[in-house]
Amino acid sequence: MIAVHAKATPAAVALTGPSAVPLSYVGLHQLIQQTTATLNSLGVGRGDRVGIVLPNCPEMASAFVAVASACTAAPLNMAYRADEFEFYLSDLNAKALIVAVGSETPARAVAAKLGVAVLEMQATPEQGAGSFTLSCAGTPPGAAKNTGAAQIDDVALILHTSGTTSRPKIVPLSHRNVCASARNISNVLRLTAEDRELHVMPLFHIHGLIAGVLAPWAVGSQIFCTPGFNALKFFAWMKECKPTWYTAVPTMHQTILS
């Protein structure tokens, strides 16, 4: 999906953010290829599950797509407690965990306890919004069994059900699933390459990931990725982004109106 736009409109902006250097589609495609090569060299490949614990930011949006292009991405809520991280990382049978350099998340200690490799992300914003490099904070998890780009029926994304009535359950979504969903959403919203989205949704939920990231990228349009919803900054972001659309939940819409 990204490769098509990188070839057709290489200079078009794929990703930006507040006061950020825009990242083009060709830049995003190169980042995906570089991330696949790095993950493979660190022992992570197709079929392996990688937890991602990052704040809402352009790097989280690009990491979701880049990681899913090489293995299986499992974004997790940064606000989880240690016991919650232990449940989710264990349930995922994660091979690696991605955190930001310098991050003090309890997920680090949990990963060490479970024997999950910790990969540190270093943002490189000067190369474009969402650009980053990865390195292993300790011992790499060994050789990757299946290297190269993910295939259409590989699992791209794993999320958990809310668990309000029972134990949270794993929901695996293939590349075929998520790409079809993204295209359906973009068709319903009549998105085009000329659109610009103001992204304020959490990037560990299906709404923020599929409707907020994959749907606009399915048509080659631009995402302005914020640190998350903030009613006090919303209109300043509107002024900077000049969006043609945004997506949010009812409580956010109500807060903006009030």
C-alpha angle 123/185/154, rounded to 5°? 60
Domains of the chain and CATH, by start: 2-257 (3.40.50.12780)
pLDDT at 165: 64
* Percentage of residues in the chain having pLDDT higher than 90: 92
pLDDT at 258: 85
Q: How far, in whole angstroms, is CA 112 from its chain's centroid?
A: 23
pLDDT band of residue 37 (cuts 50, 70, 90) is: very high
Beta bridge partners of 142: none
SS3 letters across 123-135: ECHHHCCCCEEEE
Report whether pLDDT(108) > 80: yes
Which H or E run includes 256?
helix 250-257
- Encode pLDDT of 194-230 as tens digits: 999 999 999 999 999 999 999 999 999 999 999 999 9
